[in-house]
A and B are shown apart, each in its own frame.
Chain A
Amino acid sequence: MTQITGVLGTDPRTIAGRSIPQLLLERASSFPDDTFLQKKHFGLWKPFTWSQTLNMISRYTYGLTALGVEPGDCVALISENIVEGFVAEYAILCRGALCAAMYPDMSVSEMEHILRDSAARVVFAEDQEQVDKALTLIDKVETLEWIVYFDDRGMWGYDHPQVLSVEEMERRGEGFHTKFPEQFEQVVGSVGLRDVAIISYTSGTTGLPKGARLSHEFLLDSGYRLMDAFNVKHGHEYLSYISQAWAAEQICGIALGVLAPMVVSFAEKPETVPNDLRELAPEFLLFTPRQWEMMASGLQANMFDAHPLVRRLYEWALATGKKHRDARGLSSKLRMAMADLLVLAGVRDNLGLKRANAPLSAGSGLSEEIFTYFHAIGIPLRNLYGATESGLVAAHWKGTFNARTMGQLLPVDPTIGTLLVADVSDTGELLLSGGARFSGYHNNPDASAESFNEAGQFRTGDAIRITEDGDMIFLDRVKDLRTLANGHVYPPQFLENNLRSSPFIKDAVIIGDENYDRVSVLINIDAEICGRFAERNGLGFGTFAELSQLPEVIEQIAKTIAEVNQMLDAPSRVASFCCLPKELDPDDAELTRSRKLRRNVIFDRYATAIEALYGDDDECDLEVVIKYQDGRESVVRSVVTIKRMENADD
């Protein structure tokens, strides 16, 4: 099929012309005493009711007004997910300003680009660490006037005229509050549904991040699609965990939080997320494939230490789950009940996922193995497909869920009107129309123009196939489908995802383009699992580099590759590989902050190893420059084993 059309949603909680601030006002007057936000603090879950939250938001809004923020200005935010960060963003939206959220672990230069590009006048910084980063930019970025911090820990000695605490900002806003008591409602009333709400900087696997301008309508419509498709109910718990800098959190937390509305919860600290997740056992959550993989491998690593009998039982239950979870018949049902009772209910409980009725994996690339693994446990994982610029497009919401597909087109808010239509172009690219539209890139009319074709369809850049059932299969990015020197086209991502699903492999980087006639791969081993494996087998190692080159570890990786190779036609198979002697690290720019591979950097840094993969030697000397956070550099040298796969050409 080359074209499918979506449907209209049926959920009555429609957007009906209201922007996020207007919805906020309405919800607060309808449910003033219900919990809206809650955070774990001092060991307890502290609720913030709608009226308390709105009160905070209005004080922040006046504060921003007092600092001179006008509608249409941009205010940046750099923080972990905390209540104050959400309140600050809502205040920015209520002021009619644009919010540009940043990943908390961004470097100063990444921050500089975003502050400069968005022309932010104020930046909300969580704590001393973020204030320090922002302070180095306050004189460099001309538009930046104020740094407002939430946490005063360590800020006692700061005496910069442009740095102030959020309480001080509120205090400055108090005058405005008394002078114009009606102003808050008025300001909020003038924020329109079609106004741009946020600038979401796409993590940019190539080049500098681009700022996508997303309107209230865009965020809310995507939120509605999820709510309608997955039956997200009023009062469902949601753990805000993925960064506000990511459009997905803007949709699920900021927009759907007020639309459904949900109870949006915040963990005590990033380290306590697994524990807090377990305490909450939320109904609705959205993780990246990476996070699901980490959860799965964490669980597997944990089970490594179990008593052999317990492990046998666990493996039996997993196998039963894989085979009988969705099977009919009394025998299957009985077996499933046994496996659930004895093992799997406990696993779900420990993960805090026993109530999760819509655990979503956002974006492509969750391997089939992990997907079926969670299904076997009884966690109804669903794929969700979307992008910053296209919003949420498809998901498994009609009852079928095939790990290899991204599901069906999502239902659009009836008050937005136009149905989603998915077209596949001649080049295999997915073209989208319908629903709320992306408002273009900030300060980048060329890129904005390029992202739509003449027919006004949005060009996703994704190579997609649509099945007879209307399911969408993600193949690869169009630009990432690769051709070997001999003209053979193969899907590198498919290989990478499947390799990565092995617990021994953390990342896999596929090599092989028109310069080469074979496929090879760089393996970043999982230090924890491989370390355990080595310990169990009595293998000595001191450093990561030594661990990575242990012949037994390499043998284990070779076995995994052989299994994956079986799934492909001969020319697409991996012919040689080596294990990297250091872990891929965002600090060395090898990964983005959201842990996507930066291929150009990796190809460049490991050029020697790549050359060897296509040579005849069985090992090569590799030199890698490591950059520390304080800017120091050092060169690490190691001998890397090159392993060639047998029967790669049969």
Chain B
Amino acid sequence: MLPSGIIFKSYAAEEAFLVTRPQKLVFALFIVALFLFPMVGSTYLVGTVSVMMITMIAVLGLQITVGMAGQINLGQSAFVGVGAYVTAAMAVNYELPFWLAIPIGGLTAGLTSILFGLPAARIKGFYLALTTVAAQVMFPLAISRLPQSWFGGSNGMSMPSMELFGYEIWGQTGLYLVNLCFLIVFTTLAFNLQRSRVGRAFIAIRENDVVAPVMGINLVKYKILAFFIGAVFAGISGGLYAYYVTYVTAEQFTLWLSVIYLGMLLIGGMTSPLGAIFGVIIITFLQETTHEIGGYLSGRISFVDESVLFPATNILLGAVIIAVLIFEPHGMVRRWRIAKAAYRIWPNPHG
């Protein structure tokens, strides 16, 4: 809903994300602030936000596969890994620039996912979840078994730094800005997709996969497409991650990470790309806070060390996810929508 006094004369105008002048202004200020953030944030903070943005792209992809199209995927981190490794291979073995290496990593991740998406045409729910877990299990095996000249085998791969027009992009600030640009582009793509024909088909399949084919939607094609595009996002995220951490190993892309991605999406809300953004922010914040508290405690209480902190953090995360699922199964996005609607019609309780 919008403030009063706004009329639309075309559907394109009606579809715009930003309509009123204050909306546009606030949004523009927000983007500018994001670009200026490294100037004020500490190196650690800028680095944390960089990782958040990389994670957001992976979770945005998960939102498409799981949230929009309703196809469960517990192997997202494997696809992030595929993206990371292929990007590394492209950058190291073929000396491709990052702006080519990363998209190739993304596409490869997408193509790989088709293999695991194919069963989705026939099975759903629990069985599909298992199939995607298989991707997760096979990923480290495949990396270590493939020729060492391809992906460095079990040694992992060391990354060159990013270069643009002959200049090296260095430091947390440089990486931050690249990650931010990628995030802006992929967030826009995700929002676009949601309102397009393909996005509608995804949602139709999620809502009712018996009816959707009778309405002319090719179920097999769109389920695979949903896996594909979700994994492309994952692969892009992986490529950026490879450049960020400068060293890629198979142990970085665990089933646990896939579960965390899903948890982020659940907390944020599955039904909108915004949910991915919210979820990543909330979980990262929680992780960072528990780390802080843990660090503080471990200095003072003798039995608190890593062996206690890691499980404690995860138990806390699990508890938060369960709590959100109980109190707001639709995630923060729904709360956000309710708040927005209440603001619009304030002080009236309903329109």
Q: What is the total number of residues of chain A having a CB less than 8 Å from a CB of chain B?
A: 28
The interface-forming segment of A97-105, A163-171, A344-352 is A344-352
Q: In the complex, are the beta carbons of B348 and A350 less than 8 A apart?
A: yes
In the complex, what residue of chain B is closest to A306 when comparing beta carbons? Answer: B349
Residue B5 at the chain A interface, CB threshold 8 Å = yes
Residue B8 at the chain A interface, CB threshold 8 Å = yes
Interface of B is mostly: loop
The interface-forming segment of A40-48, A51-59, A72-80, A527-535 is A40-48
Per a CB cutoff under 8 Å, which of B4, B11, B14, B348 touches A306? Answer: B348
Chain B residues near A313: list those with CB within 8 A. 347
Residue B22 at the chain A interface, CB threshold 8 Å = no
Residue B149 at the chain A interface, CB threshold 8 Å = no
Contacts A43-B14, A45-B9 hold; do A349 and B4 have CB atoms under 8 A apart? yes
Chain A residues near B345: list those with CB within 8 A. 346, 350
Please report the C-alpha to C-alpha distance between residue A342 and residue B349 in the assembled complex, in whole angstroms.
15
Give residues of chain B (1-15) contacting chain A, Cβ–Cβ below 8 Å.
Answer: 3-11, 14
In the complex, what residue of chain B is closest to A275 when comparing beta carbons? Answer: B351
Residue B350 at the chain A interface, CB threshold 8 Å = yes
Chain B residues near A281: list those with CB within 8 A. 4-5
Please report the C-alpha to C-alpha distance between residue A307 and residue B350 in the assembled complex, in whole angstroms.
11
Please report the C-alpha to C-alpha distance between residue A299 and residue B350 in the assembled complex, in whole angstroms.
10
Q: In the complex, are the beta carbons of B4 and A354 less than 8 A apart?
A: yes
Q: In the complex, are the beta carbons of A47 and B9 less than 8 A apart?
A: yes
What does the 1/0 interface line of B50-78 toward A look like (CB < 8 Å)? 00000000000000000000000000000
Chain B residues near A44: list those with CB within 8 A. 8-11, 14
Q: In the complex, are the beta carbons of B5 and A346 less than 8 A apart?
A: no
Contacts A43-B14, A44-B10, A44-B11 hold; do A354 and B5 have CB atoms under 8 A apart? yes
Of listed A299, A347, A350, A352, residue having the most chain B CB within 10 A = A350
Please report the C-alpha to C-alpha distance between residue A52 and residue B340 in the assembled complex, in whole angstroms.
40
Please report the C-alpha to C-alpha distance between residue A314 and residue B348 in the assembled complex, in whole angstroms.
9
Chain A residues near B3: list those with CB within 8 A. 349
Q: In the complex, are the beta carbons of B4 and A350 less than 8 A apart?
A: yes
Chain B residues near A647: list those with CB within 8 A. none
In the complex, what residue of chain B is closest to A299 when comparing beta carbons? Answer: B348
Per a CB cutoff under 8 Å, which of A43, A279, A280, A302 touches B348? Answer: A302
Chain B residues near A350: list those with CB within 8 A. 4, 345, 348, 351
Please report the C-alpha to C-alpha distance between residue A46 and residue B10 in the assembled complex, in whole angstroms.
9
Chain A residues near B349: list those with CB within 8 A. 302-303, 305-307, 310
Residue B327 at the chain A interface, CB threshold 8 Å = no
- Smallest Cβ distance from B10 to chain A, in angstroms? 7
Q: In the complex, are the beta carbons of A46 and B9 less than 8 A apart?
A: yes
Residue A106 at the chain B interface, CB threshold 8 Å = no
Chain A residues near B348: list those with CB within 8 A. 299, 302-303, 306, 346-347, 350
- Smallest Cβ distance from A282 to chain B, in angstroms? 9
Give residues of chain A (306-346) contacting chain B, Cβ–Cβ below 8 Å.
Answer: 306-307, 310, 313-314, 317, 343, 346
In the complex, what residue of chain B is closest to A280 when comparing beta carbons? Answer: B7
Q: Which 5 A-B pairs have the closest CB atoms?
A: A281-B5, A306-B349, A281-B4, A45-B7, A346-B346
Additional A-B contacts beyond A303-B349, A343-B346, A349-B4 (11; CB < 8 A): A46-B9, A279-B5, A302-B348, A302-B350, A303-B347, A306-B347, A310-B347, A313-B347, A346-B345, A346-B346, A355-B5
Q: Which residues of A contact B (CB under 8 A)?
A: 43-47, 278-281, 299, 302-303, 305-307, 310, 313-314, 317, 343, 346-347, 349-352, 354-355
